[in-house]
Amino acid sequence: MSQVIVVGGGLAGMSAAHTALEQGARVLVLDKSPFCGGNSTKATSGINAAGSKTQRVLNIPDTPEQFEKDTTFSAAEGARPDLIKVLTHQSGPAVDWLIDAFDLDLSIIARLAAHTHPRTHRGKERFPGMAITYRLMEKLEEICAQKDGRARLFNKARVTELIQNDNGEVVGVVFEKGGKTFKEYGPVVIATGGFGADFSEDSLLSSVSEQFAGMEAWSVTSRAAKQSGGKKIPMPNLLSLPTTNGPHCTGDGIKLALKAGSGTFDLHAVQIHPTGIVDPAEPDAKVKFLAAEALRGSGGIILDRDGNRFCDELGKRDYVSGRMFVHDKAPYRLCLNGKATDLISWHCEHYTGRGLMKKVSGAELAKELNVAPSKLQKTFDEYNRAAKNPGTDKWDKKFFEATPVNVDDNFHVCIITPLVHYCMGGVAGNKEAEVITPAGQSIPGLYVAGEALGGVHGVNRLGGSSLLDCVVYGRVAGKTSSKFLLNKLIQGGGATGGSSVNGINVKISPNDKSVTVSWGGASSGSSSTDAVPEDNGEAEVDPNQQFYGTGDKKSGGSKAAAKTYTMDEVSKHTTKDDCWVVLHGKVFNITDFLDDHPGGAKAILLYGGKDASKEFDMLHKPDIIDKYAMDYFVGPLAADSKL
C-alpha cells in the first residue's frame, strides 16, 4: 500500500491527485471514460473565491465570512456549517493554487446569482471549466510520462468494488479494463461526480424523485411561491426533465461507497438549473447545453412568452426555476442587450456558433414574441426605472448590469428551460473529506471529493461553487489520504529515516516532504499490485504503463494522407454513422470518436460536414489535435477549397 488511488478523472480527482503528489505520495488515477475531464470541463461561468489574489488586485471587498453567509443562505435547511466553512474559507487559497501551481489565467471576476460580491473567476480565453481541468490533466500526464512510478493514469478503467479488510478499512479497488480484472491497493478517493444522467427506473435519481417533489425549497414558504401569491409550485418528475450531465454521471462512486458502509447526505437534493438552452433544431433532446449563469450576471433578462419579466434573474437557482414552473408561460427567453453581450461576448459567440443563440434586433425580438415593440419597451422601461431606484423592482432584484435596456438595441437571445444540473446530495463525509457511516464514524482508507460528496451546498448550490468544491475538497482529500498513507507506512514499516521490515523499505525526507518506498529491494516505481490467480481472470498491472484515450494510447501524431479533400466532399459526411469535420486545414473522420467525446456526440455532430476550427479553438488548446485526434486524420483540405 504505497499509493493513493483516485477514482474519477474530473477536476476533483485531478486536484486530489496533484495534492497527494505534492504531499509525497504515489498516485493512481482510474477513470471509466476514454478521456478524463468529466462534467468539470463543461463548467462555463467560473470558479468562486473570496480573498483571492485577483480580488485583491481588483479591490473587491469580499471576505470568506461573507461568502460563508451567502452559501449558508443558499443552502437553506440543508446547510452543514462544517463543510461550508471549509469550502468558503479555503476558496481563496484554492484559486491562488490554480494560478500559481498551474499558471492559469483567472483574471476576470463576475457576480453570479445570489452572491453579495463579484467572486466568480474566469480567464480571458476558453470556458473556465475546460481551461482549469485540462491544465491539471495536462500536468498529470507530464508526470505520468516520466515513468518514475510517481503517477499512473488508466482510462477506460471501471472500478467495480472497494476492497476492505476484516476491520472494514478500505485497502484498495477492483477494476475492469480491456476485458480483464485488476486489483490495486492503497487508500481510495471517490471523485466520480453525481448521478444527474442516470434516468433508469432503478437509478438513484428515480429513488429520490418523490422526496425531491416535497422539498421545503419548493414549498409555499419559498420566495418563488410567495411571489406567486402563496401558490404551491407544481414540481415535475425528475425523470421527465432534460439534463446537462454527460452519460458518465450515473453515481457509480456513490454506489461503491454505499456498499462499503457509507452514509449519505441529502440524496434528494437535486438542483434544477433554470437556463438549459433549447436547441431549435432538436427541442426535445434529453441532454442540453447550459446557458452560463454568467450571462445573467452580465445583465441578461428573462422574458416569458408575452414579453414580461417574472422573476429576479439573479435569485437563487431554485427560486428562478420555481418561478418558471409556477408562472407557466413558456417558452422563456434569455435576452442580452448590446452592453451585456460586450461583457460576455466570448460566450455569446460560442452559443451563436453552435446555433443555440441568435442575434436579433429589438423589433425582431418583439415580432418573435408576437408583441408590439412598444410593449417590449414598456417592460424595459420598468426594468430601467428599477435599476435607477434601488429597492423598487417588482421582483426584488438588487443588482443590475448593462442598463439601460432599449428596444432599438440588438440582442443575443436563446430559449431556455429548467433541467437537471447538479446533485447536492451524495456520500456522507466530514470536513477532512473522510467518508462516514450512518452512525457518523469514518471509514478508514476511504475519502470523497467533488459532486460525490454530499451536503456541501445544502439544498441549493451557488453558481461558481461546483469547480470550487472540486478543488477545495479534492485538495482536502489529497492531503488527508496522503497523511493516512504515511501513517500506515510508518506503522507497517516502523520507519523513521529509513528502515526495512518484511521486505518493505520506507525512506522519509522531511526536506522535500517525500516518501520513497521500496518493495523487496525494488525501486519505488515497482508495482504495489497484488497478482491474483489467473484462473480468476485477474491480472497484474504494469506500474509504468499508462493508458490514454481511445485505443488505450495517445495518438501517434501525423500520418501520411494519400489525397486532399474539398469542402464539398466533406459536407456529405454529416450523420452519426458518417461524420467528418475540418480543423485547421485538416480533415478528420471522427465517426468512431463520437461516443468517446467527453462533451458528448451532439457537440460534434453540430459541425458535421463543416469547418469547426473557430469553435474548436474556443474550448481547446491547439495541441489536443496532435495528442488525441491524428488517428482520425484522413487528409488535408484542398488549398483552393471554399470554407
Residues with catalytic function: 273, 296
Cα–Cα separations (whole angstroms), residue 36 to 7, 40, 209, 248: 11, 10, 29, 11
Which amino acid, 211? Q
Q: Which helix (H) or strand (E) holds 508?
A: strand 504-509
- The stretches of 278-335 forming alpha helices (DSSP H) are 293-297, 317-327
Could you tell me if 412 and 357 are in contact, meaning their C-beta atoms sit under 8 angstroms apart? yes
How far CA 79 is from CA of 59, 74, 82, 114, 421, in Å, comes to: 30, 8, 9, 15, 19
What are the Cα distances from residue 473, in Å, to 84, 89, 442, 447, 486?
11, 12, 16, 10, 19
What does the alpha-carbon distance between residue 163 and residue 167 come to, in Å, rounded to a whole number? 11
What is the phi/psi pair of residue 516, to 5°?
-110, 125
Q: Is the dihedral of CA 514, 515, 521, 526 positive or negative?
A: negative
Q: Which three cell numbers stand for residue 11?
A: 477536476
628's enclosing H/E stretch is none
Cβ–Cβ under 8 Å, residues 290 and 277: yes
Select from 275, 311, 269 the least CA-distant residue to 292. Answer: 275
CA distance 618 to 611: 14
Cell of 245: 450531465
Q: Where are the alpha helices (DSSP H) in 508-581?
A: 567-570
Three cell numbers, residue 451 = 459532486
Distances (CA, A) of 393 to 148, 282, 378, 400, 592: 62, 36, 14, 10, 53
DSSP notation for 118-178: --EEE-SSS-HHHHHHHHHHHHHHHHHHT-SSSEEEESS-EEEEEEE-TTS-EEEEEEEET
